[in-house]
């Protein structure tokens, strides 16, 4: 768990008007749902939400919320931000336990680029998916998914079936989707062309010796 615990208040009124009033009071409207209970409209203190967001452990992580001293575990499913100010406008929280199976997006961390033969030849890593949606227990959400590209050549693709996922973590999507490819660049094409010209010259030289 992230270690974040936020105090909340229950909102008696819902809708656009009460939500705006809540924001004017320095709060962020939110809703908590899931589990055996129905949805509940709540509000969180904006300064606490901003601190949690800046910690990097608020989104797609298990946190605690506290109401009148009673705590419960939730996961942040969605945060809506203002298009101009980038301030949080609304938050969706989902009730979970450590073992609750959830679908969540996890960022991809690429390793091995310094030794990849394709990149060494001037190829470019084309990232198809910067994050992967996985299904896993809420208490075992990985910080990132490691994708090794150390053996990839130009033209190669890396699929989800080739990635070693942590225990109890599975892709939410059943098909074998592409995560990244290594594509040709101008530099790699020029290098290949130069190598081809060198080979032709070598063949001519050998022929002349005969």
How many domains does the structure of the chain reveal?
2
Tokens of 16: 């656009």
187, 110: one domain: yes
- Residue 201 within a domain: no
Identify the residue with better confidence: 193 or 103.
103
Contact residues for 77 (Cβ-Cβ < 8 A; gap 6+): 92, 93, 94
- Residue 198 within a domain: no
Of 35, 67, 96, the position where a domain reaches its end is 96
Residue 15 has pLDDT above 70, yes or no: yes
- Residue 209 within a domain: no
Which residue matches tokens 């320095």? 26
- Residue 206 within a domain: no
Rounded to 10 degrees, what is the CA torsion of 87, 70, 42, 13? -150
Rounded to 10 degrees, what is the CA torsion of 196, 201, 205, 210? 60
Of 35, 62, 96, the position where a domain reaches its end is 96
- Residue 53 within a domain: yes
- Predicted confidence band of residue 187 (pLDDT cuts 50, 70, 90): low
144-167 pLDDT, tens digit per residue, is: 999 999 999 999 999 999 999 999
43, 118: one domain: no
Identify the residue with better confidence: 26 or 2.
26
Any alpha helices (H) in the chain, and if so which ranges? Answer: 16-24, 46-55, 117-120, 186-209
17, 47: one domain: yes
Write the CATH number for 73. Answer: 2.40.240.10
CA angle, 171 then 130 then 161, to 5°: 35
State the average pLDDT over residues 88-112: 94
Range 76-87 burial, b when 16+ CB lie within 10 A, else e: bbebeeeeeeee
146, 119: one domain: yes
Could you tell me the residue range of the domain that residue 107 belongs to? 102-192
- Residue 203 within a domain: no
State the average pLDDT over residues 68-84: 92
127, 82: one domain: no
**For the whole prediction, is pTM greater than 0.85?**
no
16, 88: one domain: yes
Lowest mean pLDDT among 6-15, 105-114, 174-183: 6-15
Tokens of 208: 């002349």
């Amino acid at each position: 768990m992230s270690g974040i615990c936020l105090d909340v208040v229950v909102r008696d009124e819902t809708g656009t008007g009460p939500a705006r009033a809540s924001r004017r009071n320095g709060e962020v409207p939110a809703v908590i749902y899931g589990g055996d209970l129905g949805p509940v409209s709540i509000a969180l203190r904006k300064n606490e939400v901003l601190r949690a967001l800046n910690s990097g452990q608020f989104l797609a992580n298990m946190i605690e919320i506290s109401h009148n001293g009673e705590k419960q575990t939730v996961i942040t499913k969605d945060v809506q931000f203002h298009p101009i100010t980038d301030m949080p406008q609304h938050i969706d929280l989902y009730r979970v336990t450590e073992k609750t199976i959830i679908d969540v997006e996890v960022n991809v961390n690429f390793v091995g680029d310094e030794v990849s033969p394709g990149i060494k030849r001037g190829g470019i890593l084309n990232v198809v998916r910067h994050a992967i949606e996985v299904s896993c227990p809420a208490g075992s959400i990985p910080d990132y998914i490691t994708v090794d590209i150390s053996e990839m050549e130009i033209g190669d693709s890396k699929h989800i079936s080739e990635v070693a996922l942590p225990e109890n973590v599975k892709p939410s999507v059943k098909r074998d989707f592409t995560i990244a490819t290594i594509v040709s660049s101008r530099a790699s094409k020029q290098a290949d062309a130069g190598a081809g010209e060198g080979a032709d010259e070598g063949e001519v030289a050998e022929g002349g010796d005969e």
